[in-house]
Amino acid sequence: MTVTINHKPEDILKLARLFMESRVLLTAAELNLFTHLVDAPSTAGNLAERLKADLRGLTILLDALSAMGLLIKEPDDVYRCAPDVADCLSDKSPHSLLPMIHHANNLWKSWSHLTSKVRSPEPAESPATARRNADEMRAFIGAMHVVGAPLAEKIVKAVAPGKARNLIDVGGASGTYTIAFLSAVPNMKATLFDRPPVIPIARERVAHAGMADRVYFVAGDFYTDVLPGGHDLAMLSAIIHQNSPAQNVELFGKVLSALVSGGRIIVRDHVMAPNRINPREGAIFAVNMLVNTPGGSTYTFDEIRTWLEEAGFANVRLLQNGYHMDALVEAFKP
């Protein structure tokens, strides 16, 4: 099949310069400009005094943000943050994406080493999430929940948990998927397994959802610890991309041991086409794993199926294809 792609020079140049607007947003987030301008719309001069920033530099940045539609510049040169932007980018909003933006700032630093990473396969540093302090981690996990909750409801519907009654949510973070499954299946109980610093955050969110009596919290590291057993459904959400193939086989084996006979595993992640260029987001996310993990990537269905079968699972199938890390693979314990 012949594929015709027409690239104009201006299209290629635009692609090369996309980082510019990204950097403007990341710097604004680092300076917490949106929160400042929600509290008190301000001139560049007044804001420069509050931030102890350079007036020329700050003015140029504020004008760029206004041109991008993230700020509103009034005729009297007062800048303010629009309500819809404030809801996403003020640190006082319960729906704030700022922690995710700060995470993107960390990715900026690791992605800057992409050329050297491609030239020489030196080990990547640990992901930036491992270096967060407690407050940063809490904010980041909260932002993940804001982004993930609407998707979780759709995923649970696609999974159709049916008669499943005992879920294990491996690497369950603050319980986004645990809550979604328990909401859909009133008789279900769950085990949420994650690292020790995450468990208090999960307890708080699950209690807020009124489900504390239905969830058993287990602190551990799925790379080194055994998973608790007795479950008929297991969820692995957005985990396998951070692992090497060998790590995924080992993790699938641990999940197998945590399931009763006939139990089902659900893997949510990017699932790549055999040519590895579709979905586009998955191909780009593989680069993120290249620069941020020692052996992670995004994988094809055939690869995932092979690893599941090697671990002892059967009846592996692609339950749902997807473009935004919402593909689902299911398999069963014989």
Cβ pair 258, 229 in contact under 8 A? yes
Number of other CB atoms surrounding residue 252 within 10 Å: 25
Residue 10 CB contacts under 8 Å (≥ 6 apart), including other chains: none
Stretch among 1-10, 41-50, 57-66, 303-312 having the lowest mean pLDDT: 1-10
Secondary structure string (H, E, C) spanning 293-318: CCCCCCEEHHHHHHHHHHHCCEEEEE
The confidence score (pLDDT) of residue 128 equals: 43
**For residue 130, pLDDT beyond 60:** no
d(CA 282, CA 125): 21
pLDDT class for 94, splitting at 50, 70, 90?
Answer: confident
pLDDT in tens, 269-287: 999 999 999 999 999 999 9
Average pLDDT of the chain is 92
- The answer to whether 325 and 313 have CB atoms below 8 angstroms apart is no
Q: pLDDT per residue over 6-57, tens digit each?
A: 788 998 999 999 999 999 999 999 999 999 999 899 999 999 999 999 999 9
Residue 145, C-beta contacts closer than 8 angstroms, at least 6 positions apart: 173, 174, 176, 205
Mean pLDDT along residues 236-244: 97
Q: What is the pTM of this model?
A: 0.89
Structure tokens at 20: 């510019």
**What is residue 148's predicted lDDT score, i.e. its pLDDT?**
82
pLDDT bucket at 129, cuts 50 / 70 / 90? very low
Q: Answer yes or no: same fold for 9-89 and 128-332.
A: no
Give pLDDT, residue 132. 57
Topology annotation, domain 9-89 = Arc Repressor Mutant, subunit A (1.10.10)
Q: How far is CA 131 from CA 127, 194, 291, 302, in A?
A: 8, 16, 16, 34
Q: Which of 36-40, 61-65, 100-104, 125-129 has the lowest mean pLDDT?
A: 125-129
The CATH homologous superfamily for domain 128-332 is Vaccinia Virus protein VP39 (3.40.50.150)
Question: Is residue 76 packed enough to be buried (19+ CB in 10 Å), middle (13-18) or exposed (0-12)?
Answer: exposed
Indicate the domain borders of the chain: 9-89, 128-332
